Amino acid sequence: MDRIDRAIINRLQESFPITDRPYQQAAEELGIQEDELIRRLKVMLEKKQLSRFGPLYHAERLGGGLSLCAIRVPEDQFERVKEQVNAFPEVAHNYARDNEFSMWFVLATETPQRIDSVIREIEQSTGYRVYNMPKEEEFFVGLKFEV
């Protein structure tokens, strides 16, 4: 990853033009050619340095449900519970954390009502209580990674 790749990542985490030639416009700002920008994006996607190139949706405004959930999983049960939880397509991501509440995952569902039923299904599948901690108030969201 060179200086140009880093400039692309920093710039295009903020926004992307919605015009007929968006790559050309973005490339111009970065001081490179349109085809070079497209080529570099392809390479970074192939190398899995980027997760996606496209829209980041606001789940609730799409009419969907979103929540952060946690389970207190004993260490010797972690592998099994992880497999069972990740088998649900509604689990968007899942992290182990160094706490008694050891498993933290985000549920994204097509409707808000579906959150509760997925939680019940996960509790039945794993045998553990799922602690549901939906967001009540948002103070800041500016997730951006400078490289």
Partner 1 sequence: MVLNDLDYRLIAEIQDGLPLTSRPYNEIGARLGLSEEQVIERIGALQQAGVIKRMGIIVRHHELGYTANAMVVWDVPDNQVDVVGEKLGAQPCVTLCYQRPRKLPEWPYNLFCMIHGQQRQRVLEHIRKIVDSHGLKHIPHKILFSGKRYKQRGAKYQ
Complex with partner 1: residue 108 or 122, whichever CB lies closer: 108
Complex with partner 1: residue 76 or 98, whichever CB lies closer: 98
Retrieve residue 107's tokens: 């549920």
Most distant CA pair in the chain: distance in Å? Answer: 56
For the bound state, the minimum distance from the C-beta of residue 67 to partner 1, rounded and expressed in Å, comes to 9
For the bound state, the minimum distance from the C-beta of residue 126 to partner 1, rounded and expressed in Å, comes to 14
Complex with partner 1: residue 31 or 46, whichever CB lies closer: 46
CB atoms within 10 A of CB 8: 22
For the bound state, the minimum distance from the C-beta of residue 35 to partner 1, rounded and expressed in Å, comes to 8
